[in-house]
Amino acid sequence: MNEDLKVNLSWLPQDHLDTSSPENVSAAVSSLIPVIEPEPELIVNPWDIVLCTSGTLISCENAIVVLIIFHNPSLRAPMFLLIGSLALADLLAGIGLIINFIFAYLLQSEATKLVTIGLIVASFSASVCSLLAITVDRYLSLYYALTYNSERTVTFTYIMLIMLWGASICLGLLPVMGWNCLKDESTCSVIRPLTKNNAAILSVSFLLMFALMLQLYIQICKIVMRHAHQIALQHHFLATSHYVTTRKGVSTLAIILGTFAACWMPFTLYSLIADYTYPSIYTYATLLPATYNSIINPVIYAFRNQEIQKALWLICCSCIPSNLSQRARSPSDV
């Protein structure tokens, strides 16, 4: 038996084999068994999961708004076209966040990175530009109240939509057309593969649009206060009623502008001062609130609207609550 064992194992290197001991024989045999290393587990960044979840919520919420406006022929006024543009932009942004998560862990390539970042940049740019367009439309509806409902307003609205979507698509195509940092990592911004200059242009553009929105909302506040005062004089309202109405309108505008600034300002300022060498946790911590703006937008601009509420009630239960159908629009509904 021992002789057979020695013969069967005689092809092993003799300097490592001592058949006089069964332990040595067992160790020699086990040393020849190939070690199969386990495949590395796919480690998912928790921040990416949160962004993907945020993108899913954004997509579902804004898809409802897009469907309501698209399938309701009565919602074709300039205001609803701009709200639909905002919802479509946010819907694409949510889809972009979902696709980014899928490509980052299942289909990694330079082409997918460029397409994904291009979609996200274009959609979020269109979202911010749509917010500015809505602000312009609200200002015009108050400043030119007598001539607002005219063909000229509709034409101007279509021009704004073409310009904002054209500019947003161009911004999204920049990384795809070659303005990226895939070949030179030293030029990368906090969002790879966007270059530092590209991120700076986006940030400065946002600050300029925010300043314009702030100026327009200040003018809207003045108009709302003046209109509320005139209505109070015509109907002989008490001073307290006039004060409550005006305060509600100003508070609504403050909430709208404050929410927009709180969501986007941290990431905008961080993109200006930081680059790819900064810890990624800071990028995630500032980018996540920016995505929340797309979650809040439907609540502020769509679901608060009386006509959209009626359409939503008709879709859900084929009825309109009596308190909703009898509600009158007040100066605070801006």
Residue 297: exposed, middle, or buried by beta-carbon count in 10 A (0-12, 13-18, 19+)?
A: buried
pLDDT at 120: 95
Determine the Cα–Cα distance for residues 274 and 213; give it in Å rounded to an integer. Answer: 26
In the numeric block, which tokens belong to residue 208?
């300029």
pLDDT at 13: 42
In the numeric block, which tokens belong to residue 70?
């698209």
Q: What's the DSSP call for residue 237? A: -
Compute, in degrees rounded to 10, the torsion defined by CA atoms 225, 252, 309, 162. 90
pLDDT at 224: 79
Determine the Cα–Cα distance for residues 160 and 155; give it in Å rounded to an integer. Answer: 9
CA 201 and chain centroid, separation: 18
Domain boundaries, the chain: 46-182+192-314
pTM assigned to the model:
0.81
A 10 A CB-CB count for 41 gives: 6
A 10 A CB-CB count for 175 gives: 25
CATH topology of domain 46-182+192-314: Rhopdopsin 7-helix transmembrane proteins (1.20.1070)
Q: What's the DSSP call for residue 300? A: I
β-bridge mates for residue 188, sequence order: 195
By three-state DSSP, how is residue 46 classified? helix
Q: Is the dihedral of CA 295, 299, 302, 308 positive or negative?
A: positive
In total, the chain counts a number of residues equal to 334
Determine the Cα–Cα distance for residues 302 and 149; give it in Å rounded to an integer. Answer: 20
Determine the Cα–Cα distance for residues 139 and 160; give it in Å rounded to an integer. Answer: 14
pLDDT at 146: 78
* Angle subtended at Cα 10 by Cα 6 and Cα 12, rounded to the nearest 5 degrees: 125
Mind giving me the DSSP string for 25-73?
Answer: HHHHHHHTSPP-PPPPP-PPPHHHHHHHHHHHHHHHHHHHHHHHHHH-T
Query: What's the one-letter identity of residue 289?
Result: P
pLDDT tens series, the chain, 334 aa: 444 444 333 333 444 444 445 555 454 444 445 544 454 455 888 999 999 999 999 999 999 999 999 888 888 889 999 999 999 999 999 999 999 999 988 887 888 889 999 999 999 999 999 999 999 998 988 888 778 878 888 899 999 999 999 999 999 999 999 889 888 888 899 998 899 999 999 999 999 999 999 999 989 888 877 776 677 676 655 555 545 555 666 677 788 888 999 999 999 999 999 988 999 999 999 999 999 999 999 998 888 888 888 888 787 776 677 666 555 454 445 5
pLDDT at 310: 83
